[in-house]
Structure 1
Amino acid sequence: MKKQTKGGSPHYLTEEQREAILNCVDLRDYFMYLASKGIFQCNKKRGKWFYFSDSNSKIAVCEDKWHDFKLGEGGRTLNAVMKFECLNWLEAHYFLANFTNTCAQVFVEERQRSQSDTRRTDTAEFYINQVIKPNHPDLISYFEQERGIPREIFMKYTRQIHFQLKTENGNWVRGFGLGWKNRAGGYEIKSSYRPTKLGTTDYTDLGNLRAKGIFVFEGMCDMLSMATMLHLKGKNLEDYRFICLNSVSNSNSFIKHFQIEDGLKIYLCLDGDKEGEKHTQKLLQAYPNARDIRADFSIGKEGIKDLNDFWKSINHTV
């Protein structure tokens, strides 16, 4: 089969080559790629259908078909790529071949994860609709301006998570924030409005899992504050491992599951309140060689209740 590129040079694709390219792509992965670039927002995922929108479009997408309910247009994988990438017939095939070989796997894993990420607890049910790199202006403003966390730091360690939560009275509410998965498969999410815990709470293990320097924190912004300070001191963040308990109640889980190894240096930096002190002592008893570093940051004194408070007190951009 012969087609012309934009430059006019003839190129060929056999029917077998063309089918092989198209058969390797799930159209939902391509639209999730578009969402990661901010072109669309992924609103919900129901069975085989994913739903995307912007100010002009409402699009339903399955494995190899798409339909825009607002514009009344749609089709299959190839014409979607031709439309949204502004490519001709042959270039769209080349794009899909490259997409499959480079970035598609990230979105394949995200799709597979989201299709299985319906969790039930005693009181609520939730769906994870979208997990992408942070891009929402309100979240970026909150973490940068109110928490003093540089964009490059929360981009490295968190993801923007969109979810739907069924409340005890049966109503569904939507929300989003920056966060991460915990060890038990639940989600820990934070925004300017409130922290949200979806599923079972547990601690989260971040950074280089082989690093010998390990910091243990209570909250997300404390962990991000330490990463910020290390980065500004010129330290290589790949030399560190960060444990966020997400709640002091998860200290028991950490003690139960954390594998101690020779040469590890554990630094404890929990909050300065009574619970923080109680669980710091519990961790020191479990790990006698660990060091409580809260005093280095005046935590528990002069109104400094946690590491993020300390960081904000010395960071004049906040």
Structure 2
Amino acid sequence: MNIRQINDELAITDFLARQGFQPARKNGLDWWYISPIRAPERTPSFKVNTRLNRWYDHGTGEGGKVFDLAMRLHRTASIREVIQLLASNSFSSSSSTFHPIRAKKSLGHGKSPVRETDSLTTIRVLEAKPMEAGSPLSAYLQHRGISMGTASPYCREVSFTIGERQYEAVGFANRSGGYELRNSWFKGSSSPKDITFIDKGKGTVCLLEGFMDFLSLLELRPHLRHTSNFLVLNSLSQLGKSLEVLGQHQKVLLFLDQDQPGRRATERLLRSEPNSRDLSSFYLKHKDVNAYLVARKGRAKQFRLGLGHR
């Protein structure tokens, strides 16, 4: 069983139940939980959309598929160990397990079966337009610590469909024409999946896992936009595609995540790329660059409020 099969066949609600987490309330397709990935809270802010089989934690701004959640909960386990855990019998054959209705039709001897409802789970991009100030998507970026001035040159407001329903998200294009898509409850991508290379003709390149980290780095280190190229993996699974681009640069600056997969990738690149440097020390106590930015802005806001009460 691989990661894609796990994400397709295992319901997040089932996985959480097996881990001992039950929803605090159910609102149609949305099940709300006390967040399982941070300190206990009074009001549930961790949402699972049972139709899309996606989770989103409003307290941290994180979200994704069941495998992302499993990696988040089992932070000391390797990717292989988490795959084995999720593929084991302890997580199979639940009556409420998510299946995107992958019924198969027989087309006769020697012909491949057809997935009748791929269209129900496939993301289809309808339109990509410039970011609009004051829109809900710009408010979402602001919540993540990203200003419109930073985001607008690189992001689009993307309309897309999943099945018959239409949605909007912040879109970040990759080099093959696909989009990374984010909004307050959704984290996904349209095909094809690929890396994003922002070439400014410099000899230095900054490597990051996701586009929120890229935008956060521009907020925190604005001078880099004038001195560096940027390579955004859009997933650690794309790391192999980055090696040719990295090899074309005199300096490789690493800003990868602080979780176990991110640290392993950093260590691998430090060994294989002699001109690489790990510059993640400033967000050492946070998962990634964006988590550090959000925490820093939160502290600044608390400080301003404190001054106002004097």
Relative to the length of structure 1, the TM-score reads 0.53
Q: Which residue of 2 aligns with 1:213?
A: 204
- Map 1:149-228 to 2 at 5 A: 149-166=146-163, 172-206=164-198, 208=200, 210-228=201-219
Q: Which residue of 1 aligns with 2:275?
A: 289
Partner of 1:246 in structure 2?
234
Q: Could you tell me how far 1:285 is from its partner in structure 2?
A: 2.8
Distance, in Å, in 2 between the alignment partners of 1:293 and 1:236 is 13
Corresponding residue for residue 28 of structure 2: none
Return closer, same or farther for 1:272/1:250 CA change in 2, 3 Å cut-off. same
- Distance in 1 between the 2:245 and 2:121 partners? 29
Query: Once the 2 structures are TM-superposed, how far is the Cα of residue 317 of structure 1 from its aligned partner?
Result: 4.8
- Kept in 2: contact 1:148–1:317 (CA 8 A): no
2:292 aligns with: 310
1:84-134, CA deviations, whole angstroms, 9 ceiling, x for partnerless residues? xxxxxxxxxxxxxxxxxxxxxxxxxxxxxxxxxxxxx89854432111111
SS in 1 for 2:131: coil
In angstroms, what is the RMSD of aligned CA positions?
2.4
CA distance in 1, matches of 2:253, 2:236: 15
Q: 1:261 aligns with which of 248, 258, 263?
A: 248
Q: CA deviation at 1:314?
A: 2.2
Query: 1:182, CA displacement in angstroms?
Result: 1.5
Change over 3 Å in CA distance of 1:252–1:188 after alignment to 2: same
The 2-side partners of 1:229 and 1:162 are apart by 29
Letter in 2 for 1:149: I
1:279 aligns with 2:279: no
| Residue segments in structure 2 that go unaligned for 5+ positions in a row | 1-117, 303-310
Aligned mates of 1:214, 1:157 — CA distance in 2:
17
Closer/same/farther in 2, CA of residues 207 and 227 from structure 1, 3 Å limit: farther
Residues 205 and 246, structure 2, Cα contact 8 Å, conserved in 1: no
SS in 2 for 1:156: coil
Distance 1:293 1:259, change over 3 A: closer
1:242 alignment partner, SS class: strand
- Structure 1 residue 180: deviation in Å? 1.9
Residue 202 to residue 236, structure 1, CA distance change in 2 (3 Å): closer
| Shift in CA distance, 284/155, structure 1 to aligned 2, threshold 3 Å | same
Secondary structure in 2 aligned to 1:177?
strand
SS in 1 for 2:152: helix
Partner of 1:63: none
Instruction: Kindly indicate whether the alpha-carbon contact (under 8 Å) linking 2:155 and 2:173 is maintained by their aligned counterparts in 1.
Output: no
Q: Deviation of residue 165 (structure 1)?
A: 2.5
Question: Aligned runs of 1:109-120 on 2, under 5 Å?
Answer: none
Three-state SS of the structure 2 residue aligned to 1:246 is coil
TM-score, normalised with respect to structure 2:
0.54
Aligned to 1:237: 225
**Secondary structure of 1:271 counterpart:** coil
RCO comparison, higher one (Cα < 8 Å, 6+): 2
Counting matched residue pairs gives 183
Equivalent residue number for residue 131 of structure 1? 128
Letter in structure 1 aligned against 2:208: F
Contact 1:157 1:206 in 2 (8 A): no
Distance apart, 1:258 and its partner CA: 1.6
Q: What is the rounded CA distance, in whole Å, between the counterparts of 1:279 and 1:123 in structure 2? A: 34
Amino acid at match of 1:178: V
C-alpha distance in structure 1 between counterparts of 2:171 and 2:251, whole Å: 26
**CA shift digits 1:241-284 (9 cap, x unpaired):** 111111111111212x426236x221111110111011112222
Secondary structure of the residue aligned to 1:254 is helix
Cα separation, partners in 2 of 1:124 and 1:293, compared to 1, 3 Å: same
Judge conservation of contact 1:207–1:238 (CA < 8 Å) in 2. Answer: no
CA distance in 2, matches of 1:156, 1:207: 14
Query: What is the identity percentage for the equivalent residue pairs of Structure 1 and Structure 2?
Result: 25
| Deviation sequence 1:122-166 (CA, Å, 0-9, x none) | 98544321111111621111111x211111000121111111133
Equivalent pair of 2:197/2:230 in contact (CA under 8 Å): yes
